[in-house]
Amino acid sequence: MASSIGDDATRTWAQQKADALTSHFDHDWWFQSQGLFADSLALPNAVPTDPKATLGLPNQTFTQLEQLFWINATPMETSIALPARAAAALPVLESSSFTGTGFYQQAKPGGLQASAVNTGVMAVAEANYGRMDESLIYVGLVASELDVEQPGALPELFPSPDYTYVLPVFGGAMVMQAWSSYGIHWPLVDLFLGIKPNAPARSLSVVPDLPSSWPEISIDELRVGSCEISVSAQHSGKSYVTTVATPSGWSLTIGHTLPANSQVQSVTLNGSPASFQIVDTDRGREVHVQVNSGGIQKLTVQTQ
């Protein structure tokens, strides 16, 4: 936000702060013996503002605590976790201790209530590291609740060992939560379709990565700033196609994420050979092509 309004001082301060925190995160929070991130850090001394807080071990700056809360997934949701940590932690979070009809608030033997927002967090966390098939499972768990309590509304909690829908008046959770759709909208738009806009700069990146069971996905009339865009992505065999319709005056990075161990055979834009870059990300290896004009742009990547 600071960059978009030319506030270089705030941007520099924020970036330095973020870099400093990130540089300490893995050392402080990765709980090696658990194969998960800690969900709390306990101090060795009492905290005046939280006198009931758990005390850590004496003579240590902090003590890692593992209470198996759903926030174990947030390092992957925010892409702070190193890929190797994500590869270790996500299968644990997919297990029946954490996941049932949704992602539990706390794993067994804790509070087995599956919630829409944390199930959405897992959908995003999986897709951030290229685990699109696993992400789709959590997207489906959220979508399956659309007509359970109030038709057309996504509820706060899902039926689970410690929660049932049929409760006395005022005894249940909310029948509709705005945040519940996060686990559908964000994975599909930001990660499956790979749409990442910068409206103030009038720039757009579209680099899809589809679940293996979805041969195509599209979205029309998506509002970006004061404009609208349309995007579609398809894959069939070793061919990957991304089509983007943008207004004039926007710069576009158009591409596609490739499966592991694949090699690019050809890249064409609107039927003509195109210069491209290969970019390695947490999701996998991506093909990027730069376009500086609006209209409909169709990228085709053929692999071998």
DSSP-based helix, strand, coil % in the chain, nearest 5: 30, 30, 40
Pick from 253, 249, 259, 244: which is nearest to 274 by CA?
253
Q: Report the pLDDT value the prediction gives residue 168, as an integer from 0 to 100.
A: 64
Tokens of residue 111, six digits = 């509070």
Pick from 251, 259, 245: which is nearest to 301 by CA?
259
Q: Give the CA distances from residue 194 to residues 4, 93, 122, 244, 253, in Å, rounded to whole numbers and listed in that order.
A: 21, 24, 17, 11, 11
When pLDDT is cut at 50, 70 and 90, the band that residue 21 belongs to is very high
If one compares 261 and 29, the residue with the highest pLDDT of the two is 29
pTM over 0.85: yes
132-166 residue pLDDT tens: 999 999 999 999 988 877 777 888 888 888 887 76
Tokens of residue 125, six digits = 């966390």
Q: Report the percent of the chain where pLDDT is more than 90.
A: 75
Cross-strand bridge partners of residue 204? 197, 252
Task: Decide if 141 contacts 158 (C-beta within 8 A).
Answer: yes
Q: Report the percent of the chain where pLDDT is more than 70.
A: 97
Q: In whole angstroms, give the CA distance from residue 237 to residue 303.
A: 9
Q: Report the pLDDT value the prediction gives residue 166, as an integer from 0 to 100.
A: 63
* Residue tagged 């029948």 (tokens): 175
When pLDDT is cut at 50, 70 and 90, the band that residue 31 belongs to is very high
Least confident of 60-64, 186-190, 299-303: 60-64
When pLDDT is cut at 50, 70 and 90, the band that residue 171 belongs to is low
Q: Report the pLDDT value the prediction gives residue 170, as an integer from 0 to 100.
A: 63
Pick from 188, 185, 180, 186: which is nearest to 116 by CA?
180
Q: Report the pLDDT value the prediction gives residue 118, as an integer from 0 to 100.
A: 93
Q: What is the DSSP string of 216-262?
A: EEEEEEEEETTEEEEEEEEEETTEEEEEEEE-TT-EEEEEEEPPTT-
Q: Give the CA distances from residue 96 to residues 59, 111, 165, in Å, rounded to whole numbers and listed in that order.
A: 37, 13, 21
Q: Kindly tell me if the per-residue pLDDT of 176 is higher than 80.
A: no
Angle between helix axes 83-94 and 116-128 (nearest 10 degrees) is: 140
- Average pLDDT for residues 83-108, to the nearest whole number? 94
Q: Give the CA distances from residue 220 to residues 80, 140, 185, 208, 289, in Å, rounded to whole numbers and listed in that order.
A: 31, 22, 14, 15, 22
Write the CB contacts of 143 (distance below 8 Å, at least 6 apart in sequence): 184
According to DSSP, residue 190 is labeled I
Tokens of residue 232, six digits = 């579609």
Q: In whole angstroms, give the CA distance from residue 210 to residue 275.
A: 23
Q: Report the pLDDT value the prediction gives residue 174, as an integer from 0 to 100.
A: 78
4 residue type, one letter: S
Question: Which domains does the chain show, CATH number per domain?
Answer: 3-185 (1.50.10.10), 200-303 (2.60.40.1180)
When pLDDT is cut at 50, 70 and 90, the band that residue 241 belongs to is very high
Task: Please give the biggest Cα pair distance in the chain.
Answer: 67
Tokens of residue 98, six digits = 């954490």
Q: Kindly tell me if the per-residue pLDDT of 215 is higher than 90.
A: yes
Least confident of 15-29, 146-160, 245-259: 146-160
Q: Report the pLDDT value the prediction gives residue 153, as an integer from 0 to 100.
A: 80
48-83 residue pLDDT tens: 999 888 999 998 899 999 999 999 999 999 999 999
When pLDDT is cut at 50, 70 and 90, the band that residue 8 belongs to is very high
Q: Report the pLDDT value the prediction gives residue 25, as an integer from 0 to 100.
A: 95
Q: Report the pLDDT value the prediction gives residue 162, as an integer from 0 to 100.
A: 86
